[in-house]
Structure 1
Amino acid sequence: MLGSVDVILPCLDEREVLAWVTGRLPTWAHPIVVDNGSTDGSALLARELGATVVSEPRRGYGSACHAGLEAATAPFVAVMDCDGSLDPRDLERLVACLGDADADAGADNRPHLVVGRRVPTTRAAWPWHLRVANRVVARRVNRRTGLSLLDVGPMRLAPRESLLALHLSDRRSGYPVETVVSAAEAGWRVSQVDVPYAPRTGRSKVTGTPMGVLRTVRDMSAVLGR
C-alpha cells in the first residue's frame, strides 16, 4: 500500500452523485473536490461530506485537475471523474498495478503512471463515436511515445511531486493526453489496467454535445501537435 492518496475530483454541478462518489472511496483515499464553477451547491455538499474543496474559477478540465494537484499533499495522487461513471473502489486496481509493476521493476526508481482503461458496462456508457475518437487519440499517443495504450482515460495514479515536475500547461480537455505524453517523454514507466465504465449521471459537460466532442478532439490534437 502507498499510504494515503489524494483523489482529485474535478466537479461542475455534480451534487446529485457526490455522496455516492465520496462514500465509495477506499479508506486510504482523501477526496479533493475541485469546484469548477458549480451553481448547484456541489461545493457546500462536498465540504459537508468531509472533502477538501478547492475553488477553480477558470473553466476547463485541465484547470480543475491542476488546481487539485497543486492543493494535494499526499505522496501519490489519483484523478477520476466525479460523475458516477467510474467507481472509486476501482482505484484499488490502479494501486495494485502500481505495486506489482514496481515490485517487478526492482531497482528501477523511475516515476510510474498508471492509467485506467475504460471498459464500458453497457453500450450507453460509451457511445460509439466517442470510442472511435478515443481510439484515434490513443493511436496517435502511441505513435508519439512508443506506448501501447488502448485508452487515455480519466482515471490515473502517479507520484504528486513527479507530476508537478512535468510542468503540465494544458488547461482544457487535452490535459490527460499531455499527462501521458509528458510522462512517457520524461522516461516514466506507464501502465494500464482495466476499469469498468458505467453511464454517467447527468449530461457530460465535455462530450455531452457535438460541439463538446469537437472541442475535446481539438484540445487533444493541439497537445499532440506541439
Structure 2
Amino acid sequence: MIDVVLPCLDEAASLPMLLTRLPSGYRPIVADNGSTDGSAEVARLHGATVVHVPERGFGAAAHAGLLVATAEVVCFLDADGSLDPQQLPRVAGPVVNGLADLVLGRRRPTVRAAWPWHARVGNRVLARRLRRRTGVPLRDLGPMRAARRASLLGLELRDRRFGYPLEMVTSAAAAGWRIAEVEVDYAPRTAGSRSKVTGTVAGTARAVLDMSRVLAR
C-alpha cells in the first residue's frame, strides 16, 4: 500500500476524477486546508481519509497529510486535476524498488495552456538556482513526488507555505539522498478549479518569494 497526500483548498470539482483514477494499492489522504466548497465531504464520499488542517498554507496541509500517513512510501499530488493519478507508479516505482530516495515528476504539458508563461518562468528560475546550490540536475520542482515516509519525517521540514516542496529537495540533497526525475503529463486543471500558485501572476510571485526564502537560509 502507498499513501497519496493531496493538499486541498476548494477542489471539490476535481476530487471525484482524481480519487476514482487512483491506481490499485494507492490510498488517498486529502489534507483539507479550510475549503468552503464541500471538498472534505466529496473526498469522504469517494473513500479518502480526510484530515482538517486549520493552519493555512500549502506546506501545512502537505505536512499534516504526511503525519497521518502510515504507508512506508508516500506520494504527493496536487488536487487541481492537472496531474493524472494513473501516472503515480512512475514516481513511486523507483522509490519502492530502492533505486531512488526522492522522485519528482517533471511536468510535460499536454497543451501549451496547461502551464502559464509566468509559472513556467518562475519554475525555470527556481530550478536553476536549485541546481547551482545542490548540484542535483532537476529541471522542475514537480508537485507529483514520492519518498519513504520515515525518511521524510527525518528531514524535519519547517516551511508551512509554498516553500515546503523546495525545502524537501534542498534538505534531501543535504542529507545525501538519491534524487531523480521522471516525466509526467501536465494538463489543464479541472474546470472550476484554479491553481493557488500558477493560476495568477500574484500566486506565482508569492510561491517564488516563499521558495526564495528557503534557498536563502
Between the two proteins, what is the percent identity of the paired residues? 60
Contact 1:11-1:35 at 8 Å conserved across structures: yes
Contact 2:92-2:147 at 8 Å conserved across structures: no
Amino acid at match of 1:79: F
User: Per-residue CA shift, 1:38-90, capped at 9, x if unaligned?
Assistant: 01111011111110000001111101000000010000100010111000010
For the residue of structure 2 that corresponds to 1:147, the secondary structure is coil
Deviation (angstroms), 1:203 = 1.5
Deviation (angstroms), 1:209 = 2.3
Contact 2:73-2:95 at 8 Å conserved across structures: no
Q: Does 1:62 align with 2:54?
A: no
- Residue of structure 2 equivalent to 1:45: 42
For the residue of structure 2 that corresponds to 1:97, the secondary structure is helix
- Residue of structure 2 equivalent to 1:25: 22
TM-score by length of 2: 0.96
Which residue of 114, 131, 134 corresponds with 1:142? Answer: 131
Amino acid at match of 1:73: T
For the residue of structure 1 that corresponds to 2:14, the secondary structure is helix
User: Per-residue CA shift, 1:143-191, capped at 9, x if unaligned?
Assistant: 1111100101101100000000000000111111000010010011000
User: Per-residue CA shift, 1:11-44, capped at 9, x if unaligned?
Assistant: 1111111110000101110000011010111101
Q: How many residues align?
A: 215
Contact 1:13-1:38 at 8 Å conserved across structures: yes
Structural RMSD (CA): 1.2
Which residue of 106, 115, 135 corresponds with 1:117? Answer: 106
* Rounded Cα–Cα distance in structure 2 between residues aligned with 1:44 and 1:127: 31
User: Per-residue CA shift, 1:117-145, capped at 9, x if unaligned?
Assistant: 00111111001221111011001111111
Unpaired stretches in structure 1, ≥5 consecutive residues: 103-110
Q: Does 1:74 align with 2:71?
A: yes
Which residue of 19, 33, 36 corresponds with 2:33? Answer: 36
- Residue of structure 1 equivalent to 2:144: 155
Amino acid at match of 2:39: S
TM-score by length of 1: 0.92
- Residue of structure 2 equivalent to 1:105: none
* Rounded Cα–Cα distance in structure 1 between residues aligned with 2:98 and 2:108: 21
* Rounded Cα–Cα distance in structure 2 between residues aligned with 1:96 and 1:158: 10
* Rounded Cα–Cα distance in structure 1 between residues aligned with 2:96 and 2:4: 18
Q: Does 1:6 align with 2:20?
A: no
For the residue of structure 1 that corresponds to 2:51, the secondary structure is strand
* Rounded Cα–Cα distance in structure 1 between residues aligned with 2:163 and 2:146: 17
